[in-house]
Chain A
Amino acid sequence: MGIFDYAPAPESRAIANLKPHYRPFIGGEFVDGSGEPLKTVNPATEEVLAEVNTASTADVDTAVKAARRAYDRVWSKMPGSERAKYLFRIARLIQERSRELAVLESLDNGKPIKESRDSDVPTAAAHFFYHAGWADKLDYAGLGPNPKPLGVAGQIIPWNFPLLMLAWKIAPALATGNTVVLKPAETTPLTALVFAEICQQAELPPGVVNILPGAGDIGASLVEHADVNKIAFTGSTDVGKLIQRQVAGTAKKLTLELGGKAANVVFEDAPLDQAVEGIVNGIFFNQGHVCCAGSRLLAQESIVDELLAKLRHRVSTLRMGDPLDKNTDIGAINSAEQLAKIKGLVESGESEGAQRWTSPCPVPDKGFFFAPTVFSDVHQSMRIAREEIFGPVLSVLTFRTPDEAVTKANNTPYGLSAGIWTEKGSRILWMANQLRAGVVWANTFNRFDPTAPFGGYQESGFGREGGRTGLEAYLDV
C-alpha cells in the first residue's frame, strides 16, 4: 500500500435507473420479443444486471415493416429542416440523461466511468448535433443534386462502444432520411434500449428507429431480409466477411467497419513523454477494446530502451478495478469469452519468445479483468504482431529507418488507423501519405470527432462514418 491511497470514489449505481426487464423497441413501442430472453451481466462482478427480451426472426420482419412504413409515410417525405429538429432533440436528451447513460454503460460494458462520462456519452451527443446540422443541407454536401435516402437501414453494432456506435450509425441514417432497424451487441443491449426511450421522449415518429436485442442469428436475419436497403456493420472481420457474402448479388448497399492492428510509430525525435501518453491512450483506452487501438508500437531502435522504461513506469500507475470508481483507468474485459481470447493470444506471445511485462497493479478477485501487458522483442512473424487481440496488450516492435517503419506499419491485412510521433512536420506529412490506414494521427491518438470521417483499408472494411464523406453511405448518389 502506498502513502497516498485514493479512497474509493464510486459513482452511484442507482443513477443508472436499472430495470429488471428490458424489451425490444418496434414501431415506437416496447414490445415482447419472441426470441429466447438473455441475461446481461456486469463484467466487473459477473452478476446479472437485467433480463432482456430478445427478437426472433419474425420480429425482425415486423421491425423492418415498421421501418418501411415510417419511411414511406413520414420520414422520407419530411423536409430536412424538420428531421433536424428531431435530431437536435435527441442530442439534447442524451445530454440531459448523460449521467444515467454513462453509469448504465459502465455497468453493462465494464468500461471505466471516466471514459463513459467524458468520452462515450458526450461524443454520442456530438454525433447527433453534428448530423442534425446536415439534415437540411444535403444538397450542398457535394454529393450531387438532390441526393435521395436509401430506405430502410439494417445496422449491427459491437459491444465495445455500445451507445457511441449506435450514434455513429443512427445519426447519419436519420439525417439523410433513412429509417433504421438496429441490433445492439448481445452482451451490451441496455443503453440502446434507453436510447429507444429517448426516441419516445423526442416524439420521433413510430418506426423511424427500431431496436432489436438479440444474438448473431438476429443480425443474420436482418442482413438477409429482402426489404432492407442498406447494411452497416461494425464488428469483427470474420463476421464482416460473412455479411459481405450474404449481401453479394443483392441491391443492398454495404459499409463495414472491422478489425485493426494499428501501428503507433515513434521516431527518436518524438516528444517522448507525450508519446508515452499516446501509447497508453492508444492501447489501454477502453481496455484495448478499440478497433483502431494502437496495438503495435513501432519504436525506433535508438530510443526503444528509454521509451520502454518510461512506458512501464507510466503503465504501472494505471489503476485497474471497479468501473464505477471515478479513479479507475482500466475497467473490466467485456466477457469471459473475450478474456479467454486475450489470455490465449498472450500465451502464444510467451511461447513464441516475446518478453512479457505485466503491470503489478492489483487484480480484483471477481469479474473479468486483465492487467495491462506490454510485450517487447516482438517480431512481425509472431501472432501477437499480426492478430487483433482486442485487449490491454501492447506488442512492441522496432525499426531503424523511416522506410522500414512504413513497411512494417503497412505489413498487415488491416488498415484502420496509425499514429506518428515526431517533432518533424515534414516527416509527418510524408508518413501519412505512405501509410495505408483510414485514420492517421500525428502526435496524438484515439481522438474522435463527428466531423472527421472514420473507416478502413483492406480487412478493416470499407465506407466511411462521420463527416461529409460519411453521409454518402446513406444516400443514393
Chain B
Amino acid sequence: MTATTATSPQTSAAETPLPPALQDATRDDASLRRFLRGLPGVDQVGVEQRAAGLATRSIKKAAKLWAIDTAISMVDLTTLEGADTHGKVRALAAKAKRPDPDRPDTPQVAAVCVYPDLAATAVEALEGTGINVASVATGFPSGRTSLDIKLADVKIAVDAGAAEVDMVIDRGAFLEGRYGQVFDEIKAIKAACGPAHLKVILETGELATYDNVRRASWLALLAGGDFIKTSTGKVSPAATLPVTHVMLQAVHDWHAQTGELRGVKPAGGIRTTKDAVRYLVAVHEVAGEQWLTPHLFRFGASSLLNDLLLQRRTQADGHYSGPDYVTVD
C-alpha cells in the first residue's frame, strides 16, 4: 500500500487477513447470512433516545470554531442532478477550492462529488489542489442494472481520474436476503476501483430498519468498502442521526475486531451547522476521537457548506451576515 497522504483516505480495506471469525463469515452465502443475522439487534427506542440525548450537547466558542472548520474540511461538495453541466461542475470546483473568497484561511472541502460523465471535468478543475474527485457509479441512484453495466460505470469514473467511487448496493437483493450477491457485487466493484477508495451507499431510507442498517454496514465492511455511506440523497429519509449512530458503532466495532479504520459518510438532509456539529459530536462519542478526520468522516452535502461559512463568519465577526455574503453556485 502507498503511504497515506493528507488527501487520500488512510483506510486500507482488506489489506491484512481478517480474524478467523470474520473470515468464516464470508466463506459462503449461508455463513454470511448466519453471521449477519447473528449480529446483536438494534433497539429502535434506545438508539433514538441516545441520538436525541447526544444532540443536546452544547458546543460553544473555540469548540464551535474547531467544529465548523473540521466540518468544512469533511464536506463532499455534491451536485447530482440531471441538469448538471460542465459549467456547473467547474463552478462547484471553484467553490471547493475557495469556499469563502473573503476569508482565505477557510479550509478547503474534502472532495467534489459528481456523476461519472462529469468526473473528468472535475478532475481537470481540481488538479493540484489536493481536493479529491468522488464519482458516484453503479447505476446511481437506484442501482437497478446489471453488474456489467455497473462495472463499466465504475470504469468511466476511475478512467476519468476519480479518487473516490460512491457505489450503491442492490437494495432489492438485500431485502430478498440474497446477501451473498450484494457481497460479491461490492467485492467486484472494489476490485474495479483499483487505487480509488470505495464508499458503499446503503440507502438506509430503503432498508427501513436499524437491524438492516447494521447488517448492511457489516456486509459492506466485510466486502471491503472503505467508507459506508447512508444515502444517495434521492430517497427520503436520507441521513438521520440514529442511523449514523448505528453505522458509527459498526466502524468502531470493526476497528475493535480487526484493527482497521473504516469511514462513515452521512449524506442528504444535513443542511445546517447545528446539524453538522451534532454529527461531529456523535463521531466523537460513538466511534471515537480518531474518526474526527476527513479520512474517516465525510458529509455528503451541497447547501450545508454555505451555512457553515455563514456561521464561521458569525463566530469571527460577532454578528450574522446575510446569505448574500456567501457565494451561490
Q: Which of A162-170, A250-258, A265-273 contacts B (4 or more CB under 8 A)?
A: A265-273
Do A274 and B292 touch (CB < 8 A)?
no
B49 on interface, CB distance cutoff 8 Å: yes
Is A443 part of the contact surface with B, judged by Cβ < 8 Å? yes
B204 within 8 Å of A by Cβ?
no
A317 at the interface (CB under 8 A from B): yes
Q: B51-77: contact bitstring with A at CB < 8 Å (1 yes, 0 no)?
A: 000001111111110110010000000
- Chain B neighbourhood of A317, CB < 8 A: 285
Q: Select which of A5, A118, A274, A326 is within 8 A of B63 by beta carbon.
A: A5
B46 touches A327 (CB 8 A): no
Q: For residue B70, which residue of chain A has the nearest CB?
A: A4
Q: State the CA gap A5–B285 with chains docked (Å).
A: 12
Is the pair B284, A4 in contact by a Cβ cutoff of 8 Å? yes
Across the interface, which residues of B come within 8 angstroms of A114, CB to CB? 56
Query: Are B60 and A7 touching (Cβ within 8 A)?
Result: yes
Interface-lining segment among B15-23, B37-45, B150-158, B175-183: B37-45
CA distance A8 to B62 in the complex (A): 10
Given the contacts A4-B280, A4-B284, A273-B249, A9 and B42 also touching, CB distance less than 8 Å = no
> Is the beta-carbon distance between A7 and B59 smaller than 8 angstroms?
yes
The A1-37 residues at the B interface (CB cut-off 8 A) are 2-9
Is B47 on the interface with A (CB-CB < 8 A)? yes
- Judged by a CB distance under 8 angstroms, whether A277 is at the interface is yes
A278 to B43, CA, bound (A): 11
Contact with A along B208-240 (1 / 0, CB 8 A): 000000000000000000000000000000000
Whole-angstrom CA separation of A154 from B42 in the bound complex = 46
Q: What is the CA–CA distance of A5 and B284 in the complex, to the nearest angstrom?
A: 10
Q: Which residues of B sit under 8 angstroms from A326, Cβ to Cβ?
A: 56-58
A270:B63 contact, CB within 8 angstroms: no
Collect the chain A residues with CB atoms within 8 Å of residue B43's CB: 271, 274, 423, 443
> Is the pair A273, B42 in contact by a Cβ cutoff of 8 Å?
yes
Quick one: which of A269, A270, A274 contacts B50, CB cutoff 8 A? Answer: A274
Complex Cα distance, B284 from A337, in Å, reads: 36
Contact B63 A4, beta carbon cutoff 8 Å: yes
B289 contacts partner chain A, Cβ-Cβ < 8 Å = yes
Q: Which residue of A lies closest to B214 (CB)?
A: A273
Q: How far is the CA of A423 from the CA of B41 in the complex (A)?
A: 7
Kindly name the residue among A5, A7, A8, A443 whose own CB sees the greatest number of chain B CB atoms within 10 A.
A7
B46:A4 contact, CB within 8 angstroms: no
CA distance A9 to B66 in the complex (A): 15
B40 touches A4 (CB 8 A): no
Interface-centre pick from B43, B49, B56 (highest chain A CB count, 10 A): B43
Inter-chain contacts of B49 with A (CB < 8 A): 277, 444
Which residues of B lie under 8 Å from residue A242 when comparing CB positions? none
Residues of chain B contacted by A248 (CB below 8 angstroms): none
Q: How large is the interface on A (under 10, 10 to 19, 20 to 34, 35 or more residues)?
A: 20 to 34
- Cβ-neighbour of A274 out of B46, B66, B280, B289 (below 8 A): B46
Question: How distant is B299 from chain A, measured CB to nearest CB, in Å?
Answer: 16
CB-based contact A271/B41 at 8 Å:
yes
B256 within 8 A of A: yes
Most chain A CB atoms below 10 A, which of B63, B249, B289? B63
Q: In the assembly, what is the distance between CA of A447 and CA of B70, in Å? A: 36
A274 touches B42 (CB 8 A): yes
Measured CA separation A274–B51 after assembly (Å): 11
- Collect the chain A residues with CB atoms within 8 Å of residue B42's CB: 271, 273-274
A445 — nearest CB in chain B belongs to which residue? Answer: B46
Interface of B is mostly: helix
- Identify the closest chain B residue to A303 (Cβ): B40
Contact between chains at B46 and A277 (CB < 8 Å): yes
Q: CB distance B57 to A327 under 8 Å?
A: yes
The contact of A4 among B56, B256, B292, by CB within 8 Å, is B292
Q: Is the CB of B46 within 8 A of A271?
A: yes
Q: A327-B57, A443-B46 are in contact. Are A271 and B40 (CB under 8 A)?
A: yes
Nearest-neighbour CB distance to chain B for A361, whole angstroms, equals 13
> In whole angstroms, how far apart are the Cα atoms of A443 and B44 in the complex?
10
B58 touches A444 (CB 8 A): no
Query: Of the candidates B41, B58, B61, which one forms a contact with A327 in the assembled complex, judged by CB atoms under 8 Å apart?
Result: B58
Q: Nearest Cβ in chain B — how far from A239, in angstroms?
A: 34
Q: Looking across the interface, which residue of chain A has its beta carbon closest to that of B42?
A: A271
Distance in angstroms between the alpha carbons of A351 and B268 in the assembled complex: 54
CA gap between A274 and B280 in the complex, in Å:
20
List A contacts of B289 (CB < 8 A): 2-4
- Report B-chain residues with C-beta under 8 Å of the C-beta of A3: 66, 289, 292
Q: Are the CB atoms of A444 and B284 closer together than 8 Å?
A: no
B6 smallest CB distance to A (angstroms) = 16
Verify B62–A7 contact, CB threshold 8 A.
yes
Q: Mark B256-295, 1 if CB is under 8 A from A, else 0.
A: 1000000000000000000000001000110001001000
Contacts of B63 in A (CB 8 A): 4-7
Residues of B within 8 A of A327 (CB): 57-58
Q: List the A residue with the shortest CB-CB distance to B57.
A: A327
Which residues from chain A contact B58 at a C-beta distance below 8 Å? 6, 9, 326-327
Report Cα–Cα, A7/B61, bound state, in Å: 6
- Minimum CB–CB distance from B219 to chain A (whole Å) comes to 18
Q: B59–A278 contact, CB under 8 A?
A: no
B residues less than 8 Å from A2 (CB atoms): 284, 289
Query: Closest B-chain residue to A326, C-beta based?
Result: B58
Minimal Cβ-Cβ distance residue in A for B45: A444
Tell me how far the C-beta of A240 lies from the nearest C-beta in chain B, rounded to whole angstroms: 33
Per-residue CB contact flags for chain A residues 54-80 toward chain B (1 = under 8 Å, else 0) read 000000000000000000000000000
Q: How far is the CA of A6 from the CA of B42 in the complex (A)?
A: 29
- Cα(A327)–Cα(B49), bound, Å: 16
* Residue among A273, A278, A326 with most chain B CB within 10 A: A273
A6, A114, A278: most-surrounded residue (chain B CB, <10 A): A6
By a CB distance below 8 angstroms, the chain A residues around B67 are 4
* A108, B201: Cα distance in complex, Å: 50
- Report the bound CA distance from A5 to B63 in whole Å: 6
Determine the distance from Cα of A2 to Cα of B63 in the docked complex, in whole angstroms: 11
B60: A residues at CB distance < 8 A: 6-9
Residues on B with beta carbons closer than 8 Å to the beta carbon of A7 = 59-64
Which single residue of chain A is at the shortest CB-CB distance from B49? A277
Is B56 within 8 A of A118, CB to CB? yes
Interchain CB contact under 8 A, B47 and A273: yes
Shortest distance in angstroms between B218's beta carbon and chain A's nearest beta carbon?
13
Cβ distance A304 to chain B, nearest Cβ, rounded Å: 14
Q: Is A272 within 8 A of B40, CB to CB?
A: yes
Contact assessment for A270 and B40 in the assembled complex, using a CB-CB cutoff below 8 Å: yes
Please give me the 7 A-B residue pairs with the lowest Cβ-Cβ distance, nearest first: A274-B46, A9-B58, A274-B43, A271-B43, A326-B58, A7-B61, A272-B40
Interface residues of B (CB under 8 A from A): 40-43, 45-47, 49-50, 56-64, 66-67, 70, 249, 256, 280, 284-285, 289, 292
Other A-B contacts than A271-B41, A273-B42, A423-B43, 9 sampled, CB-CB below 8 A, are A7-B60, A7-B64, A9-B59, A271-B40, A274-B50, A326-B57, A443-B43, A443-B46, A444-B46
Offer 7 A-B interface pairs, CB within 8 angstroms, sorted by A. Answer: A6-B58, A271-B42, A271-B43, A273-B47, A274-B47, A277-B50, A443-B46
